């Protein structure tokens, strides 16, 4: 498993236990070459792929994450506000999966998987050279690995990965996945975020994502040649830090907000609002009945009153 290996590896690197002198890391490229002496696709297009990787981290993945965290944080205002935004997203209807795959899932998979390839080509040495940028180099990779597996889990946990009912009902639900129901957005998300372990996992995951994005923007500026001098890089670093801290606040607020609407009185209220909104949308005819997008069992008593 590259995942466990990489995390362990980075932990060791940061903790100062690796001695690069004593082993040689074969980069992925060399492995690829051995398999295909005619230079593989990856090798021939190394530059393009690396730049696409860099770009995909910002657009769409990073941009999506910023919107995602801000939308989720809107639950702090009220469950209704958040639900409104979810309806807006779902108004894409049948296009939604296409949009999701094109602009979210595929870019994330590309960015994450190619990121693992990049990680394999490096040899962190923070114990020998504990300089700030070098620590960030290692953290960028460690946070990338954490973020990638967090996102995989998060998508499973909330959405169950794929929307086939045999999978959702038969497998995902049984493994604790697919807990989010878009027409009961806040309440289902909130309920999914009640266990301490899950909250800690989400907090670490979100912070890893935020650090990865903020630091990624900084390195991207160097990679693409936006800020070149040491002074400019210093200034950019400050801007990225402010951005990262702000985004971390937004992300953690979202988790807190969801937790709050996921239990007790908050949950009750949220459900009422969600069901009322659903009912009104149904009544006005803008929404077809999509029970799989609602929590099970649906809060049927509200519906029955009408």
- Selected binder of another protein within 39, 102, 194, 300 (CB under 8 A): 39
- Selected binder of another protein within 5, 12, 15, 20 (CB under 8 A): 20
CB of 1 to another protein, least distance (A): 22
CB of 255 to another protein, least distance (A): 30
CB of 125 to another protein, least distance (A): 5
State the DSSP string of 148-212: HHHHHHHHHHHH-SS--HHHIIIIITTTT-----GGGHHHHHHHHT-SHHHHHHHHHHHHHHHHH
- What string marks each residue from 208 to 247 as x (binds another protein by CB under 8 A) or -? -----------x-xxxxxxxxxx--x--------------
Stretch in the footprint of another protein (CB under 8 A) among 44-52, 72-80, 169-177, 254-262 = 44-52
> Is the CB of 27 or the CB of 272 nearer to another protein?
27
- What is d(CA 72, CA 263) in angstroms, rounded to the nearest whole number? 17
**Token representation of residue 71:** 């939308």
- What is d(CA 232, CA 216) in angstroms, rounded to the nearest whole number? 16
The residues, any chain, with a CB within 8 Å of residue 277's CB and separated by 6 or more, are 80, 83, 84, 87
The residues, any chain, with a CB within 8 Å of residue 135's CB and separated by 6 or more, are 14, 126
> Is the CB of 118 or the CB of 173 nearer to another protein?
118
- What string marks each residue from 48 to 87 as x (binds another protein by CB under 8 A) or -? x-xx------------------------------------
3-state secondary structure of 220: helix
- Selected binder of another protein within 43, 76, 104, 198 (CB under 8 A): 43
CB of 148 to another protein, least distance (A): 17
- What is d(CA 142, CA 259) in angstroms, rounded to the nearest whole number? 27
- Selected binder of another protein within 17, 34, 47, 196 (CB under 8 A): 47
Give the closest residue to 108 by CA, choosing from 170, 70, 154, 48: 154
Is the alpha carbon torsion for 259, 298, 157, 80 positive or negative? negative
CB of 43 to another protein, least distance (A): 5
The residues, any chain, with a CB within 8 Å of residue 64's CB and separated by 6 or more, are 103, 104
**Residue 55 host element (H or E):** helix 46-56
- What is d(CA 123, CA 48) in angstroms, rounded to the nearest whole number? 22
The residues, any chain, with a CB within 8 Å of residue 236's CB and separated by 6 or more, are 218, 221, 226, 227
Binders of another protein: how many residues, by CB under 8 A? 44
- Selected binder of another protein within 133, 242, 246, 283 (CB under 8 A): 133
- Among positions 93-132, residues that touch another protein (CB under 8 A) are 118, 121-125, 128-129, 131
CB of 49 to another protein, least distance (A): 8
CB of 196 to another protein, least distance (A): 36
CB of 40 to another protein, least distance (A): 10
Residues that bind another protein (CB under 8 A): 20-21, 24-27, 29-30, 33, 39, 43-44, 46-48, 50-51, 118, 121-125, 128-129, 131, 133-134, 136-138, 140, 219, 221-230, 233
């Amino acid at each position: 498993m590259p995942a466990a290996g990489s995390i362990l590896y980075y932990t060791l690197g940061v903790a100062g236990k690796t001695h690069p002198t004593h082993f040689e890391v074969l980069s992925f490229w060399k492995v690829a070459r051995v398999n295909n002496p005619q230079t593989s696709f990856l090798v021939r297009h190394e530059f393009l792929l690396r730049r696409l990787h860099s770009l995909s981290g910002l657009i769409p993945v990073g941009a999506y994450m910023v919107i995602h965290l801000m939308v989720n944080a809107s639950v702090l205002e009220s469950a209704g506000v958040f639900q409104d935004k979810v309806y807006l997203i779902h108004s894409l209807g049948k296009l939604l999966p296409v949009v999701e795959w094109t602009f979210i899932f595929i870019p994330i998979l590309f960015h994450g998987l190619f990121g693992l390839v990049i990680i394999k080509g490096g040899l962190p040495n923070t114990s020998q050279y504990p300089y700030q940028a070098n620590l960030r180099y290692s953290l960028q990779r460690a946070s990338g690995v954490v973020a990638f597996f967090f996102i995989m889990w998060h998508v499973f946990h909330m959405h169950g990965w794929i929307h086939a009912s045999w999978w959702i009902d038969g497998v995902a639900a049984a493994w604790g996945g697919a807990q989010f129901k878009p027409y009961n957005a806040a309440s289902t998300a909130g309920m999914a975020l009640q266990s301490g372990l899950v909250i800690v996992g989400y907090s670490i995951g979100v912070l890893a994502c935020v650090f990865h994005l903020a630091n990624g923007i900084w390195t991207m500026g160097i990679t693409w040649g936006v800020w070149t001098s040491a002074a400019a890089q210093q200034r950019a670093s400050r801007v990225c830090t402010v951005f990262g801290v702000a985004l971390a606040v937004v992300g953690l607020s979202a988790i807190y907000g969801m937790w709050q609407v996921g239990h007790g009185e908050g949950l009750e209220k949220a459900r009422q609002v969600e069901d009322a909104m659903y009912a009104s949308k149904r009544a006005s005819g803008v929404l077809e009945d999509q029970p799989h997008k609602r929590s099970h069992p649906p809060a049927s008593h509200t519906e029955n009153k009408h």
